[in-house]
């Protein structure tokens, strides 16, 4: 059993404040800020509430859809986050619900992202969401493998709605899973 096998998904909680800020410092050290510049420990409870609010569509920024954020939790506390878009605007470039994730640097290459996406697919099914569309940078081989291990099929390399170019994948939970998938 790997450390990732004992990792679970939980909704954001104030009880992980210490490990959350430790993880944010790791992201910051590699130049990948994950929280607003003005985030403090005092503002943390409001931040957690904001994450819960976005899952019910409350106080969303313009152009955003409701999404639920889960935290990857292990014996050390906060190990990362994974997000599931709860709605999407059907369009030629969007054929499934958004998925995004970030694993804290000290927990990478230990199977956390693969396990978290596997658990997120279960959460999506519970919500009757059957098509997910993760996107990753073409250079991010690790993320591509995570998506493919969970049944992701490459759609195309396409601009990511005004952001950076990305590889678009479809994970169809209603489609039978092939032998290369680790979803089962």
pLDDT averaged per 10 residues, the chain (length 184): 83 97 95 87 95 92 87 97 82 68 95 96 93 89 94 75 70 71 48
pLDDT of residue 92: 52
Burial bucket for residue 29 (CB in 10 Å: 0-12, 13-18, 19+): exposed
Burial bucket for residue 71 (CB in 10 Å: 0-12, 13-18, 19+): buried
pLDDT of residue 126: 94
Q: State the fold for domain 3-172.
A: Aminopeptidase (3.40.630)
Query: In sequence order, which residues have a C-beta less than 8 Å from that of residue 87 and are 6 or more positions away?
Result: 65, 66, 97
pLDDT of residue 3: 72
pLDDT of residue 124: 94
pTM of the model: 0.85
pLDDT of residue 81: 97
Angle between helices 141-149 and 112-126 (to 10 degrees): 40
pLDDT of residue 15: 98
pLDDT of residue 12: 97
pLDDT of residue 89: 61
pLDDT of residue 181: 47
Is 114 within 8 Å of 4 (Cβ atoms)? yes
Cα separation, 110 vs 178, whole angstroms: 24
Instruction: List the chain domain ranges.
Output: 3-172
């Amino acid at each position: 059993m790997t450390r990732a096998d004992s990792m679970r998904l939980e909704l954001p909680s104030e009880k992980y404040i210490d490990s959350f800020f430790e993880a944010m410092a790791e992201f910051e050290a590699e130049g990948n800020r994950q929280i607003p510049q003005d985030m403090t420990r005092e503002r943390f409870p409001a931040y957690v509430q904001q994450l819960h609010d976005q899952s019910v569509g409350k106080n969303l920024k313009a152009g955003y859809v409701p999404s639920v954020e889960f935290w990857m939790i292990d014996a050390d506390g906060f190990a990362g986050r994974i997000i599931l878009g709860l709605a999407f605007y059907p369009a030629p470039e969007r054929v499934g619900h958004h998925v995004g994730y970030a694993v804290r640097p000290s927990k990478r290459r230990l199977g956390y992202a693969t396990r978290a996406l596997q658990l997120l697919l279960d959460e999506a099914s519970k919500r009757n969401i059957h098509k997910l569309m993760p996107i990753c940078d073409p250079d991010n081989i690790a993320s591509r493998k995570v998506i493919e291990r969970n049944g992701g099929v490459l759609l195309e390399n396409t601009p990511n709605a005004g952001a950076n170019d990305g590889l678009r994948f479809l994970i169809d939970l209603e489609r039978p899973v092939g032998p290369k998938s680790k979803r089962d």
